[in-house]
Amino acid sequence: MSIQLGDIAPDFQQDSSEGLINFHQWLGDSWGVLFSHPADFTPVCTTELGFTAKLKDEFAARNVKAIALSVDPVASHHEWIKDINETQHTIVNFPILADDDRKVSELYNLIHPNADDTLTVRSLFIIDPNKKVRLTITYPASTGRNFHEILRVIDSLQLTDNYKVATPANWVDGEDVVIVPSIQDQAELQERFPKGYRAVKPYLRLTPQPNR
């Protein structure tokens, strides 16, 4: 199964380091970040899980829940978590799915035979409160994920869901944004963007971030 943007994230029931997870119910009205790892006790993933734990307050401020996945069983997860806490100087504060039966991996197409026919690739999904997939990204095994970029994307998605804007290249929260081309009426422009805007080209209009 290939998951595309706008698809409803597949629901599932699976054991985890924090007990049984009914995914959609667990998400509730929160955003979700689901990210997979090839196996327990892998070095790059150890750093990723530790950094995710340190982002607890950043995720909470954005109404985001994080959940990881590995194909190893729960007992192995608990031992790995001890290592993560020790080496990354943190406390893992989110569940790690124990996908030893590959159920979730198959739902989310996390087994790529050309990479490895038994271990999951390192994919990440951002899921909105309507359970729609809003971002998918797959990293090579040798490259750790950039979680600052994940936060940036969430900021952009949450902003653009509420205002008729898009975010330009390398945008970060607080910077100018782009007015969508569909808005041409001057009265609507003034109403929506009372701080004004700068027209670089008729199709490229920059305005201060509306919710700042």
Structural domains in the chain, CATH included, are 13-145 (3.40.30.10), 163-207 (no CATH)
Dist. CA 192–CA 198, nearest whole Å: 14
Q: Which residues lie across from 199 on neighbouring strands?
A: 205
Give the pLDDT confidence of 44-66 residue by residue, as tens digits: 999 999 999 999 999 999 999 99
Give the pLDDT confidence of 76-108 residue by residue, as tens digits: 999 999 999 999 999 999 999 999 999 999 899
Beta strands of the chain (E only): which ranges?
13-14, 21-22, 31-36, 64-70, 96-98, 122-127, 133-139, 165-166, 177-179, 198-201, 204-207
| pLDDT band at residue 117 under the 50/70/90 scheme | very low
Backbone torsion region of residue 40, taken as left when φ is above 0, otherwise alpha when ψ lies between -120 and 50, otherwise beta: beta
> What is the distance, to the nearest Å, from the Cα of residue 8 to the centroid of all Cα atoms in its chain?
15
> What is the distance, to the nearest Å, from the Cα of residue 187 to the centroid of all Cα atoms in its chain?
36
- The pTM for the full model equals 0.93
Active-site positions read 45
Dist. CA 209–CA 78, nearest whole Å: 43
